[in-house]
Amino acid sequence: MNTRVVRIDEQHIDDTLIEEAGRIIREGGLVAFPTETVYGLGGDALNPASSKKIYEAKGRPSDNPLIVHIARMEDLPALVRTVPETAKKLAQAFWPGPLTMIMNKSEAVPRETTGGLDTVAVRMPSHPTAMAFIEAAGGYVAAPSANRSGRPSPTAAGYVVEDLDGRIDMILDGGDVELGLESTIVDLTVEPPMILRPGFVTREALAETLGQVEQDATLFTRDSGQAPKAPGMKYRHYAPKGELTIVRGSAAAVTNYINARLEEERKNNKRTGVIATDETIAEYSADVPRSVGKRKDVNTVARGLYRILREFDDEGVDLIYSESFDGNGVSQAVMNRLLKAAGHRMINV
């Protein structure tokens, strides 16, 4: 299959291209598109054959449900049995934006889209190109992240090309994404609502709207003996080819420990990488030192994480050491993805 890549300027959206992309979805094809979080791989959410194609293109297990993307609040009721009061409040506060809500699904949503579940995940993205595309596609676009299964989510169209060229019909290139980590997922079918994946809409922000909100116990632990509540979270989403270890402690202890390890590993002829920040990167003597962003602005770290993880794979490093990112808010999302990439390998110094 020939994959057409077209550049879309979100300030001056080309209606002809959007109309073409929408037609591909309505006819059962696949189009990758930019959102404010990461690039999505879209298909018609109400067409079982389209959802099957998404799993095939990604090489993703078919019990891992897709998120249904909408562009207008009026389109929500058709997807769900009833719109919960909690969903109305959250939509008012955070849509369009990086929040996905789990609700009981209606008959209209095929089980192929929900990985066999009776619930459906719904999000309204804020990216202008995504919104125009979803409307042109008929209003309901099922989309996981637009990477091959087992690779980091794509934060620029070039990474989508790397992973999916020849496997999908079209890629809408909207440049670099704004946020860089996937949406927060909150399950509204349980009481109190439960966070299944941390993201930019933080636990603190959700609690302000909902009162009480819980967090899935498996988000930051290796094996609590429980299965994760979001089926996708059980898969080793992504692991770099090199062995990644997170080092946690005071700034000085972390640099000292990592530099001692780097020296040791060089003697063993290992090629090493470091994930640090603008503030500390100059202190490390790795073969491939990379700053992921500014520690004092965790949003920059979130934006840079998947890009540098891909770079380490390209550089063929054997061992990677990373500073840790502790704290509330967006740091929780960063740490959740980093822990998953590290297979929960973490050392306290």
Residues 84-103 that bind ligand AMP (CB under 6 A): 102
Q: What, of ligand AMP, Mg ion, none, does residue 196 touch, CB below 5 to 8 Å by kind?
A: ligand AMP
Contact flag: residue 247 with ligand AMP (CB under 6 A): no
96 token code pair: 């369009």
Q: What, of ligand AMP, Mg ion, none, does residue 13 touch, CB below 5 to 8 Å by kind?
A: none
Q: Interacting stretch for ligand AMP, rule CB under 6 A, among 44-52, 114-122, 276-284, 293-301?
A: 114-122
Contact flag: residue 145 with Mg ion (CB under 5 A): yes
Q: Considering the complex, state which of residue 114 and residue 145 has its C-beta at the smaller distance from Mg ion.
A: 145
Binding ligand AMP (rule: CB under 6 A), the pick from 3, 62, 104, 119 is 119
Contact flag: residue 322 with ligand AMP (CB under 6 A): no
Q: Considering the complex, state which of residue 47 and residue 145 has its C-beta at the smaller distance from ligand AMP.
A: 145
Cβ 336 vs Cβ 216: under 8 Å: no
Contact flag: residue 230 with ligand AMP (CB under 6 A): yes
Binding ligand AMP (rule: CB under 6 A), the pick from 42, 43, 65, 199 is 65
Q: What, of Mg ion, ligand AMP, none, does residue 230 touch, CB below 5 to 8 Å by kind?
A: ligand AMP
Number of residues that bind ligand AMP (CB under 6 A): 18
The footprint of Mg ion (CB under 5 A) covers: 145
The footprint of ligand AMP (CB under 6 A) covers: 64-65, 67, 102, 114, 117, 119-121, 144-145, 182, 185, 196, 230-233
